[in-house]
Structure 1
Amino acid sequence: MDESSNSEVVHEFRFFKVYKDGRVEKHFWPPKKIPPTDDPITGVQSKDVVVSTDPPVSARIFLPKLPNPDHKLPLLLYVHGGGFSMESAFSPTYDRLVKTLSAQANVVAVSVEYRLAPEDPIPACYDDCWTALKWVTTHADGNGLDPWLNNHVDFNRVFLAGDSAGGNISHTLAFRVGSIGLPAGVRLVGAVLCHPYFGGVEYDDTMWLYMCPTNTGFDDPRMKPPVEDLGRLGCEKVLIFVAEKDHLNGPGKGYCERLKKSGWGGKVEIEENEGVDHCFHLSDPTSDKAMALIHKICCFFKQE
């Protein structure tokens, strides 16, 4: 194959391009990763754990300051965004975000490092996060592999959260919980979907279809959940954020409307972040609007 053929681009997507010879070039790659650290200001401790070796799934666990070591805390499973193809649970952005949530909401948080597309095609991301959730629940009887989860988590108060692609994956986890169930003693209370991706934008949808070779087209239920799937969510409440200037604003609102019509017995709340774009809180975490969004999420975790 000549050099011109090697350099020919056959797919140009938002986050990566694909050459004729099969090479993939990502626009923001590789993600910067930082080690876990103990925060002297908030008192949050963190560490990395291996969830699974086959497939390779890891996670970062955050343990907030414990005024009473015997008091059990809610658990948050966080799924990072990045178009199913970028970012990391170990990046400065998500380390800071999940550490903040752990400190302000007083929750034990598990941030999942899942495999990224297109190198590991979808549904690897969904399956890895499901593997992580199942691994977390093996600690419900106090006999799991991680002492922080054994000793400090109230498994009657489990939450999911994610932004962008992570919001989509969090929905899929809630759907699997409703379809498959969780072990005795584990209760999924709620899910937070922040500026989630749910189809409806052609250039993003075309990228998702490329990353998922087993797709069933633009109405694939993982990309655009149908009403019958929404009616089977295995949690009691959902909080959805959409941003006014976000190209995913409409699909996010559409998801909420379909959820209300689905017959699902839980409570759904939606909040629109005015004057801002997609996942603004990640790039400007100290702004008033970002801090208000974080506060809203923390209140969602605290309110039963």
Structure 2
Amino acid sequence: MASSTEITHDFPPFIRVYKDGRVERLFATPRLPPSTDPVTGVQSKDVVISPELDVKSRIFLPKVDPGAPPQKLPLIIYVHGGGFCIGSPLNIITQGFLAPLVSQTPAVAVAIGYRLAPEHPLPAAYHDCWVAFQWIASHATGSGPDSWINNYVDTSRVFLVGESAGANLAHYIAVQAGINKTKLGVRGLIMLHPYFSQKEPDKMIQFLYPASSGSDDDPKLNPCSDPDLEKMGCPRVLVVVAERDKLKPRGVGYKETLEKSKWGGKVEFMENEGEDHVFYLFNPSSEKAKGLFEALISFVNQVV
């Protein structure tokens, strides 16, 4: 008879699921409390966007002069990656990515939290991200529930940013924003090393998303099957891939899908030679990571 410690599902480097239902996350990073970053001066605070979901998101504000009138800044809405099953807007990796980006752009950022699979099977993450976007959109008239967004954000200059599975979720938000005609002015979408499904079903995604085939016929998992792709609510997309990343073909395929679609926006493309998946998160001080940050800042600050 099998013991309760028997492994039923093992998907390195993401999760291990045991017979008794326990989930072990194999790549976990420490969570940091909201604070003021000692290097950049960026402040952060946590908000619970939906009490029903009880999922925290974190807002990042660049260093400001308290004696000066508030300056209206672009807003970055960031969706973390991690295969839909690891990661957090509150961890040290998110802090390390957003603090310098917010400081150097400068911009305000909201790192969206969402429920993780398999405890909360997909499409829960898609639902949560859209709820978070709607909460942010409630600030469009300057009278939303959060004072930082009301006082410091230019809601006509909003950028969606996601990496890996988070890029998949960011793309979903962009399409929903176009379908629902929200009052936020989404100017661009930045897709960092995006994860999308392929023709061959992905066994991990099938486990995390029992209602899906886990292949490219699911419009949430692959835009090539999405009849609403042409309604995507932003005029510009930056697709970033890494030469040694096994997901590179999926980013290239996404670029080609957009170019062939009736969406009609502008696609920009960037590849980092000799680098692997989300290298900039683990070596942010490298020259190529700095170059990537410069490209992101330029994309946000570009006047179009």
**Count of aligned pairs:** 298
1:17 matched residue in structure 2: 16
1:116 matched residue in structure 2: 116
**Runs (5+) with no aligned partner, structure 1:** none
Superposition map of 1:200-219 within 5 A? 200=198, 205-218=202-215, 219=217
Mean Cα deviation higher: 247-256 or 42-51:
42-51
1:66 matched residue in structure 2: 64
2:219 partner letter: P
The separation in 1 between residues aligned to 2:278 and 2:198, in whole angstroms, is 18
**Runs (5+) with no aligned partner, structure 2:** none
**1:156-207 CA distances to partner (integer Å, 9 max, x unpaired)?**
1011001111111100101111112203xx211111010010112858x221
The separation in 2 between residues aligned to 1:41 and 1:9, in whole angstroms, is 43
**1:77-98 CA distances to partner (integer Å, 9 max, x unpaired)?**
1011111111111111111211
- TM-score w.r.t. length of structure 2: 0.93
Contact 1:84-1:117 within 8 A present in 2 as well: yes
The separation in 2 between residues aligned to 1:210 and 1:53, in whole angstroms, is 27
Q: Which of 40, 43, 46 is the equivalent residue of 1:42? A: 40
> Per the alignment, in what secondary structure is the counterpart of residue 46 of structure 1?
strand
1:155 matched residue in structure 2: 155
Matched, 1:196 2:189: no
Alpha-carbon shift at residue 21 of structure 1 (Å): 4.1
The separation in 2 between residues aligned to 1:47 and 1:12, in whole angstroms, is 35
The separation in 1 between residues aligned to 2:93 and 2:54, in whole angstroms, is 22
**1:257-279 CA distances to partner (integer Å, 9 max, x unpaired)?**
01000011211111111001000
> Per the alignment, in what secondary structure is the counterpart of residue 110 of structure 2?
strand
Mean Cα deviation higher: 88-97 or 33-42:
33-42
2:243 matched residue in structure 1: 244
Q: Which of 215, 221, 225 is the equivalent residue of 1:223? A: 221
Contact 1:230-1:258 within 8 A present in 2 as well: no
Alpha-carbon shift at residue 217 of structure 1 (Å): 4.2
Superposition map of 1:1-304 within 5 A? 2=1, 4-14=2-12, 15-29=14-28, 31-66=29-64, 69-183=69-183, 186-200=184-198, 205-218=202-215, 219-226=217-224, 228-304=227-303
Alpha-carbon shift at residue 142 of structure 1 (Å): 1.6
Note the aligned Cα RMSD (angstroms): 1.7
Alpha-carbon shift at residue 42 of structure 1 (Å): 2.3
The separation in 2 between residues aligned to 1:7 and 1:47, in whole angstroms, is 38
> Per the alignment, in what secondary structure is the counterpart of residue 270 of structure 2?
strand
Q: CA 1:41 to 1:9, structure 2 compared with 1: closer, same or farther past 3 Å?
A: closer
1:235 partner letter: C
The separation in 2 between residues aligned to 1:89 and 1:26, in whole angstroms, is 16
Name the % identity.
48
> Per the alignment, in what secondary structure is the counterpart of residue 299 of structure 1?
helix
Alpha-carbon shift at residue 120 of structure 1 (Å): 1.0
**1:34-61 CA distances to partner (integer Å, 9 max, x unpaired)?**
1111134423211111111111222111
Alpha-carbon shift at residue 248 of structure 1 (Å): 0.3
The separation in 2 between residues aligned to 1:121 and 1:56, in whole angstroms, is 16
The separation in 2 between residues aligned to 1:138 and 1:8, in whole angstroms, is 47
2:210 partner letter: P
- TM-score w.r.t. length of structure 1: 0.93
Q: CA 1:244 to 1:90, structure 2 compared with 1: closer, same or farther past 3 Å?
A: same
